[in-house]
Each structure stands twice: as C-alpha cells, then as structure tokens.
Amino acid sequence: MRQDRNLSTASEAIARYFKEASLPSQQETLGLIVVEILRSGRTLSRKRLCTKLLCRMEQARGTEAEIHYQQLIGLMFSVERES
C-alpha cells in the first residue's frame, strides 16, 4: 500500500517539475531525458532524473549548458510552497 503512495507522490513530483520548467528548452530537455529513461525499460524516478542531469552537466560543453542543467537540477530539489 505504501509503495503505491510513493509512486503516486513521485508521479506528482515529476509532473510538478514539468510545470515549473519555465523555458520551453527546459521542458524539452526534461522530456528527452524522461523518454530516454523509459525507452531503456527503467522506472522513472527523481533519483534517476537527477543522475541523468548530473551526467549531462558533467559532459556539457560551455557555461550556458552547465547553467541549464544546474537549473533543472535545482527544480528537482525545490520545495512547493502553498500560499
């Protein structure tokens, strides 16, 4: 039962990341990574997204690309605050 709740929470968190991605390029990058994970047959999770983002950031060529991935990683750890 708890596992189902965790999956639901993870799905909601991932949906929130997409909603918070401010630039189309951020959404596109997240979408490409999600597709890559799913096509590999692996389960989509925050940990797996972070790992992929970190790998891409390490391989980034240029400051702009690094900043792009840093911002996306920041979205993964942002806390949604209710007004």
The pLDDT tens digits of the residues spanning 17-45 come to 777 765 558 889 999 999 999 999 999 99
Place of tokens 């991932």: 14
- Please report the pLDDT score of residue 2 as a whole number: 45
- Please report the pLDDT score of residue 58 as a whole number: 94
Task: For residue 50, give the DSSP letter.
Answer: H
